[in-house]
Structure 1
């Protein structure tokens, strides 16, 4: 694990075992955390993932970062929309940079975010849905005001969405509004489950997540092999 500075966003990586045809698995941490947070997942992820965990753009304390400002006391201004949109552009650009720098596959890309990172993951995936095919949104929600105006190639997106029933920061009803939006857009491959937890992942949530990743990864491998032999 090494903090990389040569691209537009600081990040840490874990290279795949295979060494070729690497699939990008991008991690986006939550507010007040850092790039090491979700990186603990790597020990349970498929070995042919090229894992990149990025560091927030704004420092808010020692080893604490954010992607945009949050007003916890104002639901209507919970998100700094201008900052969030700029961050979406920067991460989208970083994805293209990373693909070139590390010689990764253009498609599919996996994206995994927690809380603020999950909110961004929805928007980044819909903006780059020609490349991003698997979206993991943990303890976040879909924010309409930061979505791209035009969304193409989205019907083959697959989502893992989880939330704590007792989340004091992001209410469950915010998440359910996003589910309704995705279904209206005919995105039907949705795993959604609520857990007996707050603004965090409990053990059952984590086990479900790893199971979903491995199941989707195996299916994608089989599908690609069958396609290549046709």
Structure 2
């Protein structure tokens, strides 16, 4: 594991692949109040030929705690800072291009995995960059219409893994289901499952996630 404080436009840690050239990028985007080491713990179970990059949020909200945009937990109608979120989508989209060039990775396919705030961003980033991103993992998130890229019709080979806790008090499960409707309308393939958990991943959720990654890996 390496931490690059200055190299490239976003701070990140990586796991280099064991073998191969022009490997596939697996990008991880943590949730609100977490950091780049959180989802990186998955790396021990992810196929060894992925080039894993886990990025750190832009806004510090405590010791080793970061966010990608501000959240108003008391106002569900204005839950997210739209301006900050849109700026973050642009910055991460650029970082994907930058990483592919820097680490000599495949331009297609790219995998993206996000939890909570990172999952919300993953929807928008994937649909904005659907020429590159082909596999999306959305954990305890939802599709936010206010940051959704408009006039995008290219969804070839795009596929989602979506999971949510039945007892999630942070992001209501019905928010996630609205995004499923959109995916169905666009005929985008997805795996969706609800788990007996809150705003977190339980053991079964994690097991299903790793299984899906290995099945879709090519």
1:206 aligns with 2:198: no
Whole-Å Cα distance in 2 between the matches of residues 152 and 49 of structure 1? 28
Q: What is residue 143 of structure 2 aligned with on the other side?
A: 142
**Alpha-carbon deviation of 1:153?**
1.8
1:193 aligns with 2:193: yes
**Alpha-carbon deviation of 1:163?**
0.2
Whole-Å Cα distance in 1 between the matches of residues 77 and 183 of structure 2? 22
Whole-Å Cα distance in 2 between the matches of residues 144 and 156 of structure 1? 22
User: Secondary structure in 2 aligned to 1:149?
Assistant: coil
Whole-Å Cα distance in 1 between the matches of residues 20 and 215 of structure 2? 22
Q: What is residue 183 of structure 2 aligned with on the other side?
A: 182
**Alpha-carbon deviation of 1:155?**
3.8
Q: Which moved more, 1:203-212 or 1:144-153?
A: 144-153
User: How much is the aligned-residue C-alpha RMSD, in angstroms?
Assistant: 0.7
User: Secondary structure in 2 aligned to 1:182?
Assistant: helix
Whole-Å Cα distance in 1 between the matches of residues 110 and 35 of structure 2? 21
Q: Which runs of 5+ in 2 are unaligned?
A: none
**Alpha-carbon deviation of 1:151?**
1.2
**Alpha-carbon deviation of 1:19?**
3.7
What is the TM-score of this pair, normalised by structure 1? 0.93
Q: What is residue 111 of structure 1 aligned with on the other side?
A: 112
Whole-Å Cα distance in 1 between the matches of residues 158 and 178 of structure 2? 18
Query: Does the CA contact (< 8 Å) of 1:129 and 1:152 recur in 2?
Result: no
What is the TM-score of this pair, normalised by structure 2? 0.98
Whole-Å Cα distance in 2 between the matches of residues 3 and 67 of structure 1? 19
